[in-house]
Structure 1
Amino acid sequence: MTIDDPATHASIAAMFARYEQALGSNDIAALDAFFWDSPQTIRYGVGEALYGFEAISAFRKARPGGSPARTLAHQAITTFGQDFAITNTEFHRAGEARGGRQSQVWVRFADVGWRIVAAHVSLAAETS
């Protein structure tokens, strides 16, 4: 198995950038399209645990204004073969003292291309 094949790495880096653009503009249709349409898809958020594509989609549609504006730091992408990748990044939301972390597991499906099959978003613990 090839780890960090340049073409695969570039492909998922482009997908991650498009995801971030859709998140920042609250493009719900695009955000839905990034996730695997399956009851097996999972997204753990800052305040929610979502099981299945339908729950993830419903959460996005119900969140007023979308995700808070944020800047990214320390992005890490690792690919395994040509069809599996993990992305990790730290972020800082405008107006939030705590930093956050985001992890995504991506799989490239023959029929639909790259999709997120699992995601986790968290904020760092509060400091005094």
Structure 2
Amino acid sequence: MIGEISTEATVAAVRDCFERYNGALDRGDVEALNGFFWNSPATIRFGPTETLFGYEAIAAFRSRTWKGTAGVRIIETVVVTAFGPDMATTNALIRSADGSVSRQSQTWVNLPEGWRIVAAHVSASPP
């Protein structure tokens, strides 16, 4: 059974993680970014130019390939939906300095080590 949907405490906890993750993204803090992902072969991240299966692939991408965000980003919309106290999704629209809009979706799970991203997807929004 899922339990209560979008309780205030769970939404606040995940929103805080989401904001800290995006802060690390804006700072180009690779170590912090990697720390937000579940350290498991089951973790997935699909990006605009990459398809990554497993924490090791995600960490390698960030450490060797990733160049950081380009310029200023503005999070225009974010929706946090919690499914009980231990699982939630975040879905956001983010506008870049050049005016383009991207979509960021994350699935967060509250594990013994804390809230971690277990699946993520970033893509361009249709014009």
Same fold (TM over 0.5): yes
Q: 1:28 aligns with which of 3, 27, 30?
A: 30
Aligned-partner Cα distance in 2 for 1:92–1:63: 23
User: Partner of 2:56 in structure 1?
Assistant: 54
Aligned-partner Cα distance in 2 for 1:92–1:3: 28
User: What whole-Å deviation, never above 9, does each CA across 1:92-115 have from its counterpart, x for those lacking one?
Assistant: 1222x4311000000001x20100
Identity within the alignment, %: 45
| Structure 2: segments with no counterpart, 5+ residues | none
Normalising by structure 1, what TM-score? 0.91
User: One-letter code of the match for 1:113?
Assistant: G
Aligned-partner Cα distance in 1 for 2:54–2:69: 20
Aligned-partner Cα distance in 2 for 1:9–1:92: 23
User: One-letter code of the match for 2:121?
Assistant: H
User: Partner of 2:95 in structure 1?
Assistant: 92
Alignment of 1:36-51 (within 5 A): 36-51=38-53
RMSD over aligned CA atoms reads 1.3
User: Partner of 2:74 in structure 1?
Assistant: 71
Displacement after TM superposition at 1:64 (Å)? 5.1
Aligned-partner Cα distance in 2 for 1:56–1:92: 23
